[in-house]
Amino acid sequence: MNRRWIVLASVTALVAGISACEKEIGPAKNSTPYTLEIPMGFPQAAPPEDNPLTVEGISLGRMLFYDPILSRDSTQSCSSCHNAEYGFTDFGKKYSTGIDGIEGKRNSMPISNLLWQSEFFWDGRVKRLNLQALMPIEDPIEMHETLPRVVAKLNRQPRYQEAFRAAFGTKKAAPETIGLALEQFMLTFVSGNSKFDRVMRGTETFTAAEQRGLQLFNGESNPNNPVRGADCFHCHGGTLFSNFTLSNNGLDSVFADRGLGKVTGKATDDGKFKVPSLRNVAVTFPYMHDGRFQTLRQVIEHYNTGVVANSPNLDPSMIGFVHGLGLSQQDISDLIAFLETLTDESYLNNPAYATPF
């Protein structure tokens, strides 16, 4: 069995235990409720009912996110591959490297606005964030540790005994409370204060290039339209800039990585990957699940002239791209100018997301 699927099986087995225990797990009696601010224009959403946000739970999750104790040799933390300044991606690397020097096979995904998402990883194989958070710990090409060993290490440290007591009312760590704490911290990663947002609130205005880029972004690709469009909005529309589905965007005719198809075992799902949000996209390079594009211009050129017509399971919304969008270099530059307005500096430099150590 492939090592990745051994890990998946291990965490899947854990799910049953967590599901059985979660009814008995909750915030400590004296913990402090935390109210997450939803940016103007965002859809309403709430944390999972079984994991309400608390100041103490978020604080514990923040410690765990930045602590290399989660890895076998205590050299790598969650933040090692998810750096806040780069939209919680890995410093522009195509693939991240685990503690044993083994390179991964997919690009490190950006992390933001997870409250509105229900499928995680590029292939959508996990439906709950608290479970996703545990998988890199046991992945042989990432942290290469075991959850029982992590629990034992945490339970030997007084600061974690106190932190788990404050968050969940128990001095002992457990896989389920580790996952819940990490989930709480990551659910606070809300990005909604970019220039785009400020323009929508009426406090700033777009430049001419940015405004034209927005029009291209929201324009249909139909060549019969009087105004040419780049047709981005079908997959990346709305204030979250993603529909968060899994789809094939025409990268290949033969798939080195089956994506969702590997998870479901269905050939009709081959080549489908999660549609990422475009928020902070200018700093989350390289792009696509395999990091094949280094720049936004290369990404747009793919959609402009490079969509593979015979790619199996090509998303229906991509049909108009097959014969090319006909975008000029100026069009592409204007699109990039608009996409750069999605960079949220207050998010990338938020002290609440920085290491607590």
225, 272: one domain: yes
For the entire predicted model, the pTM comes to 0.93
Residue 351 forms part of a structural domain? no
**Residue 355 within a domain:** no
Q: In this structure, are 20 and 130 located in the same domain?
A: yes
CATH number at residue 186: 1.10.760.10
When divided into structural domains, the chain yields a total of 2
Decide if 281 is inside a domain: yes
Asked if the structure places residue 237 within a domain, the reply is yes
Structural domain includes residue 69:
yes
Distance CA 189, CA 212 (A): 30
Q: What Rg, from alpha-carbon coordinates, does the chain have?
A: 21
Whether residue 161 is found in the same domain as residue 199: no
Q: 130 and 243 in one domain?
A: no
Domain that includes residue 212, residue range:
195-345
Same domain as 241, residue 114: no
202 and 178 share a domain? no
Q: Is residue 142 part of a domain?
A: yes
Instruction: State whether 161 and 228 are in the same domain.
Output: no
Which of 164, 190, 216 is the C-terminal boundary of a domain?
Answer: 190
Residues 6+ apart with CB under 8 A from 277: 110, 112, 113, 236, 240, 241, 242, 244
174 with 199, same domain?
no
Domain identity same for 164 and 237: no
**For residue 3, what pLDDT is reported?**
43
Residue 160 and residue 266 share a domain: no
Cross-strand pairs, 325 = none
CB burial string 192-227: b at 16+ within 10 A, e below: bbbbbbebeeeeeebeebbbbbbbbbebebeeeeee
Same domain, 144 and 208: no
CA angle 278, 325, 237 (to 5 degrees): 30
CA distances from 158 to 23, 31, 155, 161, 173 (A): 27, 19, 8, 5, 11
Phi, psi of 302 (to 5 degrees): -60, -50
What is the reported pLDDT for 7? Answer: 46
Per-residue pLDDT of the chain (357 residues; tens, 9 = 90+): 444 444 444 555 555 445 444 446 899 999 999 999 999 999 999 999 999 999 999 999 999 999 999 999 999 999 999 999 999 999 999 999 999 999 999 999 999 999 999 999 999 999 999 999 999 999 999 999 999 999 999 999 999 999 999 999 999 999 999 999 999 999 999 999 999 999 999 999 999 999 999 999 999 987 677 777 999 999 999 999 999 999 999 999 999 999 999 999 999 999 999 999 999 999 999 999 999 999 999 999 999 999 999 999 999 999 889 999 999 999 999 999 999 999 999 999 999 999 999
Q: Does residue 239 belong to any structural domain of this protein?
A: yes
Residue 175 resides in a domain: yes
Compute the distance between CA of residue 335 and CA of residue 298 in angstroms, rounded to an integer.
12
**Do 23 and 112 reside in the same domain of the chain?**
yes
Domain boundary among the residues 190, 214, 248 is at 190
